[in-house]
Structure 1
């Protein structure tokens, strides 16, 4: 296995991680900002108030994007396992 192969595998794994985490992180960011704006406008400083909407948003994103995320992860894993014989040469 060459160093270029290792770097390619690491780059692909990091890209997949970013791709799979992006919908969840963006949903949490958007909901967090919206709740923060509402809290600033109403001067309600309750820490748990931002937790529940984020939790609901993340659950909704997982329901909506979960099949795509799982399909992407399974496809990457399948390609990785199928490439093992070629990596050993």
Structure 2
């Protein structure tokens, strides 16, 4: 196992992590901003409403995009498990 292969696998893993995190994060930010504007306009100071709405939206986004988001993750895991004997041959 050389440093180039380790860096390649790490960079691919980080890109997959960013792909997994970005849609729910963007959805939570948009919902939080919208609820914050509504709360500022109505002077409603309930702290549980934004958290509940964000949680529901994040769960809905993850549930709806799970098949699309999990395909690259499964392929990357298959690639790592296939290359594992060659990567660890020197140890």
Q: Compute the TM-score of the two structures, normalised by the length of structure 2.
A: 0.87
The alignment partner of 1:45 has SS state of coil
Superposed counterparts of 1:2-21, under 5 Å: 2-21=2-21
Superposed counterparts of 1:34-73, under 5 Å: 34-73=34-73
In 1: Cα distance, 2:80 partner to 2:28 partner? 30
Provide structure 1 residue ranges, at least 5 long, that are not aligned to the other structure.
none
Q: CA deviation at 1:86?
A: 3.4
Alignment length (residue pairs): 89
CA deviations 1:36-86 (Å, max 9, x no partner) are 111111111111010111122112102210111222211110111112233
Structural RMSD (CA) = 1.4
CA deviations 1:15-39 (Å, max 9, x no partner) are 1101111111111111111111111
Q: Compute the TM-score of the two structures, normalised by the length of structure 1.
A: 0.88
In 2: Cα distance, 1:59 partner to 1:5 partner? 35
